[in-house]
């Protein structure tokens, strides 16, 4: 059974640009959550999607958005990038919303 | 804000020794989970303990939960160099939108010297 796949693994962007990250959950998992991990703030919850609907949202500005497709694949978008957006972005999928399976993450560097 | 907070922040031991990490949380929970993260990679689920359980074992891992003290501990016995990683506890936080979102602490960085 394939795990959670995140693409790309690494990304370098310039301030002001926008970026889209992709996450393919484990087959059959309908819940996909996104987290931002930085050394200073640790793991911060961004949002959760379930059956194409955003079910929960963390405390992040509107520059951070996401969506989920009918095949449960999810994307998150960050517009008008800031230096502080440099982080490891982790996607997790779950079957019943308790045990989460994480992808390897996308390392975003904003310069 | 973090619900769970791990202690210590960093732990350095020799191979073969036991490693104990603690997690404290603030509000009532349904479940508490422990995850491991190797440097710069995704998190791997280790073990889940429910609020009505006091202790759980999985291989060399032993997790305890004391809901009266709002704390949990993770014990890794006979540690190996491959156990070097960061360990996070995650509580289920508050229900919202029909689901519980795991809320993570800042983690304990464990280094096991060969």
The Cα of A16 is separated from the nearest Cα of chain B by a number of Å equal to 25
- Between CA B50 and CA B77 the distance in angstroms is 22
pLDDT at position B93 is 63
Name residues 26-65 of chain B within 8 A of A (Cβ): 31, 33, 35, 40-45, 48
Q: Do A88 and B2 touch (CB under 8 A)?
A: no
Mean pLDDT of B38-51: 90
Residue B1 has pLDDT above 60, yes or no: no
**Chain A residues closer than 8 Å to B44 by CB:** 102
| Residues 6 or more apart in contact with residue A43 via CB below 8 angstroms | A35, A36, A37, A90, B88, B104
End-to-end CA distance of chain B: 36
- Per residue in B62-77, pLDDT (tens digit) is 999 999 999 999 999 9
Helix (H, G, I), strand (E, B) or coil at B27: coil
Best B7, B43, B108 residue to mutate vs chain A (most A CBs within 10 Å): B43
Residue B2 has pLDDT above 60, yes or no: no
- Per residue in A39-98, pLDDT (tens digit) is 888 899 999 999 999 988 888 999 999 999 999 999 999 999 999 999 999 999 988 656
> Among B34, B5, B29, which residue's Cα sits nearest to residue B105?
B5
């Amino acid at each position: 059974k394939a795990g959670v796949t995140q693409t790309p693994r690494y990304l370098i962007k310039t301030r002001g640009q926008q970026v889209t990250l992709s996450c393919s959950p484990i087959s059959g998992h309908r819940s996909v959550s996104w987290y931002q991990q930085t050394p200073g703030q640790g793991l911060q919850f961004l949002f959760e999607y379930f059956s194409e609907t955003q079910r929960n949202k963390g405390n992040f500005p509107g520059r951070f958005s996401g969506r989920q497709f009918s095949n449960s694949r999810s994307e998150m978008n960050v517009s008008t990038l800031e230096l502080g957006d440099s982080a490891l972005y982790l996607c997790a999928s779950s079957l019943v919303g308790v045990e989460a399976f994480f992808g390897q993450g996308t390392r975003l560097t904003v310069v | 804000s973090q619900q769970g907070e791990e202690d210590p922040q960093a732990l350095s031991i020799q191979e073969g020794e036991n490693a104990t990490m603690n997690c404290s949380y603030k509000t009532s929970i349904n479940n508490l989970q422990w995850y491991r993260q190797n440097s710069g990679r995704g998190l791997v689920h280790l073990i889940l303990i429910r609020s009505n359980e006091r202790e759980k074992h999985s291989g060399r891992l032993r997790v305890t939960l004391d809901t009266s003290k709002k704390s949990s501990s993770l014990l890794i016995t006979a540690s190996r160099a491959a156990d070097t990683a960061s360990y996070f506890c995650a509580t289920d936080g508050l229900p919202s939108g029909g689901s519980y979102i795991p809320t993570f602490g800042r983690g304990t960085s464990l280094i096991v010297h060969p």
